[in-house]
Amino acid sequence: MLAIGPPGSGKTTYCRAMYAHMKAHNQNVLLVNLDPANDTKIVNFDIDVRELISLEDVMDRLNLGPNGGLMFCMEYLADNLEWLKEKLKGEDPYLIIDSPGQVELFTHHDAIKSIVKTIHETWEMRLCAVNIVDSHHCYDFSKFISGLLLSLSSMLQLELPHVNVLSKVDLLDHEALPHRLEMFTSEMDLAFMAEAVADQDPIMAKYGRLSAAFAELVDDFGLVQFLPLSVKDDESVAKVAKLANKASGHMYMEGDD
């Protein structure tokens, strides 16, 4: 299970909650950090990429900024993936993988795609991407549509089974939402959202036909759907785990419940 998503969406918190959930159900699971910028003092990872390379060291030694440094780190990891394979030697665990939040790494940069392809195809480990989007985007239709298109971009780039999650739904003020939460999950109506954005913003109205075309494409083919998640609710975490295991085929493997 590879957790991806923008900075602040709750990837690390999600990974901790999912790890605790699976441990409580006696699964052989490892928590893996592939984010060279992660604060590993907060979370005890079983495998940590910062043992191989860290963003702080790269920025100091190569005089790079955070974005360039992070891309260098992921390219270095992609070129030295035997490090991870060695860490997994003799193990056959369920992996929960935390990743960087820089969106370019999942939309058009090839380092993460190369890492995923090696793990998924060469090592023959079943992977599912869990794309996490902060539910605060639901307060604004235009922000939600942007997050949805970013999710679609990641799906196309990584070429993995994909589960899209709206995180932190327990923190939402439902009275302040422009519509019921179901509008963003089980009853998503992008055409309605695109029309509402065009009506509210004269600048966006110019792109009304383009927005409507995007909405029609996503709606007609059911390309992106979101599952609400509260990490404080174990039943909510279990639903995401079940859907991710179904998407990756893990739940159909011999011997799995």
User: CB count, 10 Å around CB of 209?
Assistant: 10
Average pLDDT of the segment spanning 200-210: 81
Prediction pTM value: 0.92
Average pLDDT over residues 68-76: 96
> Which comes out higher in pLDDT, residue 226 or 39?
226
Residues 81-102 pLDDT 10s: 999 999 998 778 899 999 999 9
User: Residue 231 corresponds to which tokens in the numbers above?
Assistant: 């990490």
Say which residue the tokens 């901790």 belong to.
16
Instruction: Say what the pLDDT of residue 218 is.
Output: 85
Across the strands, what pairs with 167? 134
- Give the mean pLDDT of the chain: 91
Q: What are the b/e assignments for 210-243, b being 16+ CB within 10 Å?
A: ebeebbeebbeeeebebbbbbbeeeebbebbbeb
In degrees rounded to 5, what are phi and psi of residue 137? -65, -20
Residue 194, pLDDT > 70, answer yes
- List own/partner pairs for 186-194 with CB under 8 A and 24 or more apart: 186/225, 188/219, 188/225, 188/226, 189/219, 190/145, 190/148, 190/214, 190/215, 190/216, 190/218, 190/219, 191/215, 191/216, 191/219, 193/141, 193/144, 193/145, 194/141, 194/145
Supply the Cα-derived Rg of the chain in whole angstroms. 19
Inform me whether the pLDDT recorded for 254 exceeds 70. no
